[in-house]
Structure 1
Amino acid sequence: MARDSDDTTPLTSRTELIDWFAAGEKPRARFAIGTEHEKIPFYRETRKPVPYAGEAGIRALLEGLARETGWEPITDLGNIIGLHGAEGGAISIEPGGQFELSGAALPDVHATARELDAHLAATKRAAAPLGIGFLTLGMSPKWRRDETPVMPKSRYRIMAGYMPKVGTLGLDMMLRTATVQVNLDFASEADMVRKTRASLALQPVATALFANSPFTDGRPNGFLSRRSEIWRDTDGDRTGMLPFAFESGFGYEAYVDWLLDVPMYFVKRGDTYHDVSGASFRDLMDGRLAQLPGERATVSDWANHASTAFPEVRLKRFLEMRGADVGGPGMIAAQAAFWTGLLYDEGSLDAALDLVKGWTPANREAARATAPRLGLAAPVANTTLGTVAAEALAIARSGLRARARRDGEGRDETVYLQPLEAIVAAGRTLAQDRLADYEGRWGSCVNPAFAECVF
């Protein structure tokens, strides 16, 4: 998660909230790809989590990475909590110390892969003297929630206080999970609607393809993507499959109305985060917020509030694909390639919409509910997510071929789909492979994950 916004321009009308989203529209020639991924740090010698403070803590890691990259620090009440680069990328830390790259907006998946390689190389150089490694799993496999360090970020303290009021697993989401996202552009409101519908319907397919969080508290947890299941009991007001997105008339206005109904977490003024958890953004617009009487909404308040909604596909000034567990570098690039191929070619987008056009709201919700446990075997309509995944991959491959973006070796972006095609061909997710390892050569112990499931 990048820095919170600090635009103090006043907002006075609902139309301005709608216009904020519309301002994200870009001509197709400027479409870009932004990739974000989280990775869980641990001490290689002890397999213990990494706290913020100390000579070999997260703060020291951020300071070391700043020296490696020349990126500028982001601070919160005097604590370094991230870095930002001149080209638009940023490093941040999630509540449990998950180390996140929010990548720059780049022209193709080749550039995304290069960015990722450079980031991992710099991070490893900074981490090596501290004895820190990073897991390629979507959930910490060993430590209990109460053993997981908490990072000193003001917004996270507010969120942590509110989460247990609205769900039972929100703190697990914050402290123990890791995801990969790709952020993609839209050209118009109609284009946004088409991409939102296709990607929402197919998000359970991504959950199945990228399932990689089968362990919790040192043992199998009964899921292939426990991370995805955790989101189902985090906060129903701000998560889920957005069924209204498939209704007639969906657009910026409908999303704004939904977002206005999402309870707030905080209002940021200067360097201070004011806890207004549970409050209404409408009251802030009207100057009637009980916690901050007379204070009125600004552009930064709206941008920050938009970042505290967590549906499976999130609209900001781009679209965020949020259904996947993190994996290794090949899987991170594969996620960018999958959605780029589906959504950035008109023919492929048409085909993706055709693929899901017969699905009912109940079909979509059922797929979302069963994908975390069953993966590719999960049913949807009259087929399975595995069958749909094979068709979606073929569509994505066609879309990437049509883009014809080639690297220095003459390869197009379809090369990055290979890990997903191998998963579909085998009918087995990364999580299933790791569970087989656990039952076999790992000897019913997760400790080998700290040597084998690492960046």
Structure 2
Amino acid sequence: MSIPSAAKTTSITHRDQLVESIAAGEKPREAWRIGTEHEKFGFYLDDLTPPPYEGERGIRALLEGLAERHGWQVAAEDGKPVALSRNGASVTLEPAGQLELSGAPLETIHQTCCEVTRHLDEVRSVADPLGLGFLGMGFQPKWKREQMPWMPKGRYGIMRRYMPTRGDLGLDMMTRTCTVQVNLDFSSEADMVKKFRVGLALQPIATALFADSPFTDGQPNGYLSYRSHVWTDTDPDRTGMLDFVFEDGFGYERWVDYMLDVPMYFSIQNGQLIDLSGRSFRRFMDGTLDELPGVVPTLRDWADHMTTVFPEVRLKQFLEMRGADGGPWNRLCALPALWVGLLYDDDALDAAWDLVKDFSMAERNALRDGVPKHALKLPFRNGTVCDLALETLKIAGHGLKRRAQLNANGADETIYLEPLIEFAQANQTPAERKLELFHGEWNGSVDPVFKAFAY
């Protein structure tokens, strides 16, 4: 699910190359895969504080332990381990040390769930002796922004300086949020467009079902998905619902034009990270950047640039569904099940498009703006988001049944939708359940969340 290494050194001399690089992601149905990513907060078991990079019990020690004990290959930056890779999967660090698994491209949700289980078991085997735990939620429930550590990755330093110039919550996005997302393939430009539109229109429903970030600085914050709210004040140049995706003529070229209009963060030249924050990729293609006079970008630069936009759905050589809060093990399996059920079966995709095709731009944006606070209870037309969620889950379930991918016990992939169906039928999000505990048996403290909901 990435640009081949040999192609990354190709110089970009015209816009068509950028269009072609995205179109190269097209795959026949039999080659479609599922790539699941999830992030989680580390904390010390004794005092709940987030671990720094260095130290005997730090994030570096965790990475080195995973590499030594479980056969991961180490990637370093300035001599410091910052990522691991193995068999098409990777373990990477978010800015404050949130640990991310970027899973390998797999064929079924059953395989995805096995991958997640193995990863969490491996992390626990190394973390336990270090006195570390990990928590799946959408937003750091206890610690303030200034109490979060920073990881030694150059791009994060650039973003740390640039983010406050574009919004008030960008540093919170970097240091205090966690998500689960799924990456899915498309067969053609038309297939990509239809999946992109369905994904954008229904992303607020995923946000509502997965809403699990009701605390900030140890207190209720008035939201059910505060993580989702954070994105509304991060950087308007690179976030949002992308209304142009629903315009006639949308396709690869229009996406390239959008990306060319997004200001850059950086370029890697001869192994060195060059700060290009706010600069134009179009000028880079012309070789007229003051910082890199006469230098033109490569496809590696373009691939890096495409990782610096953060809309609700993102296009690279595949589509990324990005609207969900992080959560416990079963919801890490539920998110790919939801989107595979909707997008990888033709009848389900048609039904999902029928559900959303008459949503107006105002309605789509009202859903996006309203679900962080109200989630399933947000009014919509003559009902609520809960009604939309139930219909969406019904469509996804039919799609998964038609896929007929069975595990060793003969169960199909619909089993992974069960926690979402339970939330929708109860009309109650994970965040609302945590709030009940906070106001009840937790006696107004968020500390118990680190034990009750740790992996």
After TM superposition, give the deviation of residue 74 of structure 1 in Å.
Answer: 1.0
- Give the C-alpha shift of residue 241 in structure 1: 0.5
Residue 93 of structure 2 corresponds to: 93
Q: Does the 8 Å contact 1:2/1:92 carry over to 2?
A: no
Kept after mapping to 2: 8 A contact 1:312/1:322:
yes
Tell me what 2:225 maps to.
225
State whether residues 405 and 413 of structure 1, in contact with CA within 8 Å, keep that contact through their aligned partners in structure 2.
yes
Report if the CA contact (8 A) 1:40-1:136 is conserved.
Answer: yes
CA distance in 1 between counterparts of 2:99 and 2:287 reads 37
CA positional deviation for 1:381: 3.9
Distance 1:348 1:3 in 2: 29
Q: Among the aligned pairs, what percent are the same residue?
A: 54
User: Are 2:39 and 2:100, in contact at CA under 8 Å, matched by a contact in 1?
Assistant: yes
Amino acid at match of 1:234: T
Give the C-alpha shift of residue 271 in structure 1.
Answer: 2.2
Return the letter of the residue paired with 1:36. Answer: E
The residue number in structure 1 matching 2:414 is 414
For the 8 Å contact 2:266–2:277, the answer to whether it is kept is: yes
Match of 2:245 in 1: 245
Shift of 1:22: 0.2
Give 1:281's aligned residue.
281
Aligned counterpart, 2:379: 379
Q: So what's the TM-score if we normalise by structure 2?
A: 0.98
CA–CA distance in structure 1, aligned partners of residues 384 and 295 of structure 2? 51
Q: How far does residue 4 in structure 1 lie from its aligned partner after superposition?
A: 12
- Between the aligned partners of 2:306 and 2:266, the Cα distance in structure 1 is 12
Instruction: Give the partner amino acid of 2:83.
Output: G
Please give the alpha-carbon distance, in whole angstroms, between the structure 2 residues aligned to 1:241 and 1:152: 31
Select between 151-160 and 268-277 the one with higher mean Cα deviation.
268-277
> 1:328: which partner in 2?
328
Question: Counterpart in 1 of 2:170?
Answer: 170
Q: Distance in 2 between matches of 1:145 and 1:330?
A: 28
Which deviations, in whole Å up to 9, do the C-alpha atoms of 1:163-198 show, x marking residues without a partner? 000000000000000000000000000000000000
Q: Is the 8 A contact 1:3 1:74 kept in 2?
A: no
- 2:53 is the counterpart of 1:72: no
Give the letter for the 2:318 counterpart: F
SS of aligned partner of 1:239: coil
- The equivalent residue for 1:198 is 198
Seen in structure 2, the aligned counterparts of structure 1 residues 165 and 2 have a Cα distance that, compared at 3 Å, is: farther
- Note if contact 2:207-2:324 (Cα within 8 Å) is conserved in structure 1: yes
Q: Residues 301 and 89 from structure 1, CA distance in 2 versus in 1: closer, same or farther, beyond 3 angstroms?
A: same
In the alignment, the residues of structure 2 paired with residue 417 and residue 109 of structure 1 have an alpha-carbon distance, to the nearest angstrom, of: 11
CA deviation digits over 1:262-296, x for unaligned, max 9? 00000111321100000000001000112111110
Could you tell me how far apart the structure 2 residues matched to 1:331 and 1:323 are? Answer: 13
Tell me what 1:397 maps to. Answer: 397
Query: Partner letter of residue 119 of structure 2?
Result: H
**CA offsets 1:217-257 (integer angstroms, 9 cap, x no match):** 01111100000000000000000001000000000000100
Partner of 2:115: 115
Query: Which amino acid in structure 1 is aligned with residue 294 of structure 2?
Result: G
Q: Equivalents in 2 of 1:271, 1:129: separation in Å?
A: 35
Q: Is the 8 A contact 1:4 1:304 kept in 2?
A: no
Deviation of 1:2 after TM superposition, in Å, equals 9.9
Q: Distance in 2 between matches of 1:124 and 1:251?
A: 43
Give RMSD over aligned pairs.
1.4
Q: Deviation string for 1:350-396 (max 9, x for gaps)? A: 00000011100000001000000000011334432110000000000
- Which residue of 1 is the match for residue 366 of structure 2? 366
Q: 1:338 to 1:304 in 2, by over 3 A?
A: same
Q: Measure, in 1, the Cα distance between the counterparts of 2:407 and 2:169.
A: 42
Q: Write the letter of the residue equivalent to 1:437.
A: L
Paired position in structure 1 for 2:21: 20
CA distance in structure 1 between the partners assigned to 2:233 and 2:270 by the alignment: 33
In the alignment, structure 1 residue 33 sits paired with structure 2 residue 8: no
1:5 shift after superposition: 7.4
Q: Is the 8 Å Cα contact of residues 2 and 317 (structure 2) preserved in structure 1? A: no
Residue 62 (structure 2) pairs with residue 61 (structure 1): yes
8 Å contact 1:200–1:312 — kept in the other structure? yes
2: CA distance, partners of 1:249 / 1:289: 31
d(CA) in 2 for partners of 1:226, 1:2: 31
1:319-366 C-alpha deviation (Å, 9 max, x unpaired): 000000011010010001000000000000000000011100000001
Equivalent residues of 1:96, 1:148 under 8 A apart:
yes
Question: CA contact under 8 A between 1:24 and 1:318: conserved in structure 2?
Answer: yes
Aligned residues: 454
**Dislocated runs of 4+, deviation >6 Å:** 1-6
* 1:232 partner SS: helix
Q: Which residue of 2 aligns with 1:454?
A: 454
